[in-house]
């Protein structure tokens, strides 16, 4: 029985690997680690010369925390 449960858990993880990876990335950003993601996107989308010229100006503003805090308070209020 324990082996069956382990197999179910492993199968679930394998089947939802992309979803779980996306959630891990969202949690990382929510916890304040936005800069590496912005840096990677800019490095990949801009020319190397332009990226080198502006990389010191990157200012990641994490609105995800504010949005989640705002939405979660909306849903936590009891209905009247």
pLDDT digits (tens, 9 = 90+) for 7-63: 999 999 999 999 999 999 999 999 999 999 999 999 999 999 999 999 999 998 999
pLDDT of residue 70: 84
Per the structure, the count of domains in the chain is 1
In a domain, residue 46? The reply is yes
- Measured CA to CA, the distance from residue 73 to residue 43 in angstroms comes to 36
Give the CB-side neighbour count of residue 70, counting CA atoms within 13 A.
Answer: 5
Output the pTM of the full model: 0.69
Structural domain including 66 reads 6-74
In a domain, residue 12? The reply is yes
Q: Give residue for tokens 């950003």.
A: 29
In a domain, residue 80? The reply is no
Structural tokens at position 44: 């990949």
pLDDT of residue 24: 95
* Crossing angle of the two packed helices 17-30 and 2-15, in degrees rounded to 10: 70
């Amino acid at each position: 029985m324990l082996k069956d449960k382990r197999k179910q858990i492993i199968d679930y993880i394998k089947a939802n690997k992309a979803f779980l990876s996306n959630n891990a990335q969202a949690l990382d950003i929510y916890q304040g680690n936005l800069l590496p993601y912005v840096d990677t996107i800019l490095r990949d989308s801009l020319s190397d010369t332009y990226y080198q010229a502006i990389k010191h100006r990157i200012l990641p503003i994490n609105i995800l925390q504010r949005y989640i805090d705002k939405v979660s308070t909306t849903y936590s209020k009891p209905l009247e």
